[in-house]
Amino acid sequence: MQLYEVFTFIICLAALFSFINHRFIKWTPTIGVMALSLLFSLGLPVAAHYSPAFAHACIVLINAIDFHDILMNGMLGFLLFAGSVHINAESLKKEIWPIMALATLGIFISTFLVGVMLHYLFLAFSLQVAYIYCFLFAALISPTDPIAVLAILKKAGIPKSLELKIAGESLFNDGVAVVIFLTLLEIAQTGVDAFSVTDVSLLFLREAVGGLLYGAVLGYLGYWLIHSIDKYEVAVMISIALVMGGYLLACKMHISGPLAMVVAGIIIGSPHKKSITNTVAKNYLLRFWELIDEMLNAILFMLIGLEMLVIKFDLNILIIGGICILGLLLCRWISVAIPLSLLKYKMSFERHAITLLSWGGLRGGLSVALALSLPVNMYRNEFVAITYVVVVFSIIVQGLSIGGLYKKISGTQY
């Protein structure tokens, strides 16, 4: 299968689903596109009865798509940069403590709780799965993806400060979770006995701190280059080069590319009062990345829906996945409540912040991609199926109900 054919199929299908959703369904774009992709996947077996050739061609195309490679080595850097470049650095400073607490302490708490829960859940089904593999799953399922829910929350009139907490947490916890996942994966591949606490700490610090520092260097370099010109075409090309080249170089240096893209995006998106770029080229730059964000998210959630065709489901695993949904919601609530409770003596929070942050902590494409990257001997098939069940529930059920939840608990009109 040629790359151009696969790419054309993805773009055409994403455009079609986006149009149908915008014209008729009118759900939040990412939720609508994913729902249509799921229906398309469910409809292929029916289509096979009437047109076997068409159904077979679709399945062949979908099998040719390497979801993990597309997201981790292509889309993730663009998505994180596009999300962070629109964040106001001054506003972010005001919410930096809860954001960093949720993205670090919250992720560690969630990883620990989910890992322990899953280990005993497997035992209840007579499945012996070592703790290290359960923690691997916990690391990949812990990062949140607010892309789908933010548009709904904006419509519901959620306070800007809470909206920023959700967006900021997800941008940073994506990077932190990837670092934790890669650290645990290396331990699992090398052997637990081969690593000491010092080794694990140094490995984590190299990835995380290295990514943050590298992202700052990259961001200030891009900031200086972009704000020294007044031609938007060149500004856009510079930003693309920084994302693609910067992410690739981060991977080569074995530091966190996701964290680097978040930091670089925030710095580059910061206002510069004396620069013409702030009023001319900057507007084009932001609009370009807004378009990239919308387009890539449509493709991402379409791919999540189509992945159902290539995922093998087992009844016991489906049951475990269903139980995991409830367990993950509880773990998410605890991992949000503890950091915010520790910070409440230092600062005040919005009403129902814990509830909205817990229910609005959607799982998305990053979790699916990380699950697909696992070797088969690390329970890849089981973890992929469970992840898929959790992500579909998260996006469809939590994503569609978060607006109504905010309306109910705040007493506002939605």
* Domain extent listing, the chain: 3-63, 67-410
Residues in the chain, how many? 414
User: pLDDT tens digit string along 42-96?
Assistant: 887 777 778 888 778 888 888 888 888 888 888 999 999 998 998 888 888 888 9
Q: For residue 276, what pLDDT is reported? A: 47
Neighbours of 45 (CB within 10 A): 11
pLDDT > 70? residue 148: no
What span, in angstroms and rounded, lies between the C-alpha atoms of 102 and 142? 11
The C-alpha angle 75, 80, 81, rounded to 5 degrees, equals: 100
Query: Does residue 24 surpass a pLDDT of 80?
Result: yes
Query: Would you state the pLDDT for residue 197?
Result: 78
For residue 278, what pLDDT is reported?
57
Residue 232 in tokens: 């938007």
- What is the SS3 assignment for 230? coil
Please say if the pLDDT value at position 397 is more than 70.
yes
What CATH number labels 67-410? 1.20.1530.20
Q: What is the pLDDT of residues 126-140, one digit of tens each?
A: 999 999 999 999 999
List Cα–Cα distances, 45 to 33, 306, 312, in angstroms: 20, 13, 15
Q: How far apart are the first and last CA of the chain?
A: 47
CA–CA separation, 124 vs 103, rounded Å? 31
Instruction: Please state the pTM of the whole predicted model.
Output: 0.89
- Asked whether 289 and 86 are in contact (CB, 8 A), the reply is yes
Q: Does the pLDDT value for residue 369 go beyond 50?
A: yes
Q: Which of 106-115, 328-337, 389-398 shows the lowest mean pLDDT across its residues?
A: 389-398
Residue labelled with tokens 């909206």: 163
CA–CA gap between residue 310 and residue 53 (Å, rounded): 18
